[in-house]
Amino acid sequence: MENPNKYPITKSEAEWREELGEKRYHILREKGTEFPRTGEYNLTFENGTYLCGACHTPLFKSDNKFESNCGWPSFDDSIEGAVEYIKDTTHGMMRTEILCSNCGSHLGHVFEDGPTETGQRYCVNSLSLNFQKK
């Protein structure tokens, strides 16, 4: 986990674990990944806003969501200032990890292979998100 003290919302890992439960804690705080095509929001396309599953900060608008066929919710952009970008060289790959800029929780990764004008594909775990309908 990145230095938790640099984020506006800070809690001990014990507090996060109790608040989030084991599955969400694993994804958000231990940088886990859901199995593809298993997440609640993979095929959700209602109007609204996707919030951080840990601190409820707005991260993505439904207007930026698209079907990527990758098995995870995909967005072509985030809400300005809501996401932090970290170089990730784990598993022998070069990727860009995305974190909530408010609490430092792991969301997923962003790739430069998106089909829209932005060219980006934010690949996000459903358990990293909450959805708020418009």
d(CA 33, CA 125) in angstroms, rounded, equals 7
- What one-character DSSP code corresponds to residue 34? P
Known catalytic residue at 70? no
Q: Residue 31: which residues within 8 A CB-CB, separation 6 or more?
A: 1, 97, 106
Q: Which of 55, 100, 103, 123 is catalytic?
A: 123
Chain CA centroid to CA 114, Å = 16
- The catalytic residues are 123
